[in-house]
Amino acid sequence: MKAESYYIMVLITVFGFSFKASAQVPNVDSLQKAILESVQKGLKNGNVSDSYFDTSKLFKGQSPVDLDRLFKEIGKEVRIAESKGDIDKAEDGYRHLSKLDSMRGNYKGAYENYKLYALYRDSLQKKETEKRELQQEFEKKQAIAKAEQEKKDSEAKRVKNLQYFAIAGLLVLLLVIILIALIQWKNNRQRKKTNTLLQSEKEKVESALSELKTTQNQLIQSEKMASLGELTAGIAHEIQNPLNFVNNFSEVNKEMIEELEHERSKVKGERNEEAENEILQNIKANEEKINHHGRRADAIVKGMLQHSRTSSGQKELTDINALTDEYLRLAYHGLRAKDKSFNAKFITEFDKNAGKVNIVPQEIGRVILNLINNAFYAVNEKKRLSSDGYEPTVTITTRSIQPPSGGRSVEIRVIDNGGGIPQKNLDKIFQPFFTTKATGHGTGLGLSLAYDIVTKGHNGEIRIESKEGEGSEFIVIIPSTQ
């Protein structure tokens, strides 16, 4: 449409030149009407050509068009365009209005209309910029959406593949389960037969185990009774001393009573009351000694009974020095009574700070007795095999110690200068039924029982240090409170 208007304007311009060349003035009204119709048509389509405004040059400043009328028409169309928000038409209209004002000589109006034209032109440029930015943003979002869609498609494809693999895996698993079930069903029949045989064998093993436990308990009890038998002579020797004191002081008291009766049989003037009181005091002192040694004999008998009977496991505060000394003397005199040729030196080093320890007395006494008996046996064997000049010696020490873990403990050491224990046997020394003694001299249960009593029954520790040919040292550590 713009091209069409342009060609119309060119045609009119040609006519204008023709009229000028022939000096003939055309019908101005007809020409003006034709130009105005063309301008209005261009305005409606937004294609008003600049050539409309150049026709005035053909007529030496006299335009064939009524510029005021044209200005009004364009102004009207511009207002319509502004009301509709048509920025393109408004911008083009203000440009033409600015030219018309300039042709009319209204330069101020031309300037104002040019500013409005510039405002709409900038608005159009801004709109174009925003449009381009929106287009770029749209293209960017479209690219991101496309990438996300491709990612989703890829993920969907991966999930689909995983589903295929999962289905395939499940099928394989199902086949494996079926295969296992078939194998299991086949084996169940065989297992039932095997279970019957196993049950029978189990009953036999349980019966044998029960018999073994019974035998083990009998052996343990036999070991206890054997140690009691070894103590019998020692107990007899130890109990003899207090009984001798009881008998002797009883005889003395008997004589003193007879003397007192003789003194009191005298007439009153001849009696010596001071002598009578002295005799009474001596009788009283002797009675206290008889009572003391009687209690000593009673304690020895009770100790023997405690050693022989099964332990109740009841712990009590016990003087560890007194307990150690008592079992040392019982062991020594027991061996002396059994073997008249036996003789050994024993040394005691008791720590007064050892005090009382919370233990089961008969159990710890059994441990001490076993260690001392082993020590005396070792030095006696070495003496039997050695030449003159060897002095068998057993040392027993007690000591109050404070272990790294804290608290207070008592340490008991039994040291001998016997033949020692070979290095290869040290790791087996606390195993049940293991013994280094000659056949018939030990069951191999003494140290095993001692180990259980100390470690399990009293949360203690027992260990051995030995050097073959020089002797052995057993160390027992027992917490004071448990």
**From CA 344, how far away is CA 336, in angstroms rounded?**
9
Do the Cβ atoms of 102 and 117 come closer than 8 Å?
A: no
Written as tens digits, the pLDDT of the chain (482 aa) is: 443 343 344 334 333 433 333 334 445 455 455 555 555 555 455 454 444 444 443 333 444 457 788 788 888 888 888 888 787 888 888 888 888 888 888 888 888 888 888 888 887 777 777 778 888 888 888 888 888 888 888 888 888 888 888 898 899 999 999 989 888 888 888 888 878 888 888 888 887 777 766 765 666 555 555 555 555 655 666 677 777 778 888 888 888 888 888 878 877 777 887 888 888 888 888 888 888 878 777 766 766 665 555 556 688 999 999 999 988 888 888 787 777 788 889 999 999 999 899 998 888 988 999 899 999 989 998 988 887 788 999 999 999 998 877 788 999 999 999 989 888 888 888 887 767 666 555 566 778 888 999 998 899 999 999 998 899 999 999 998 75
Q: pTM of this prediction? A: 0.45
**From CA 456, how far away is CA 458, in angstroms rounded?**
6
Question: In terms of Cα–Cα distance, which of 455, 398, 447, 400 is closest to 427?
Answer: 447
**C-alpha to C-alpha distances, 279 to 123, 261, 274, nearest whole angstrom:** 146, 10, 9
- State the first-to-last Cα distance of the chain, in angstroms, to the nearest integer: 117
Structure tokens at 432: 């049940």
* pLDDT at position 53: 44
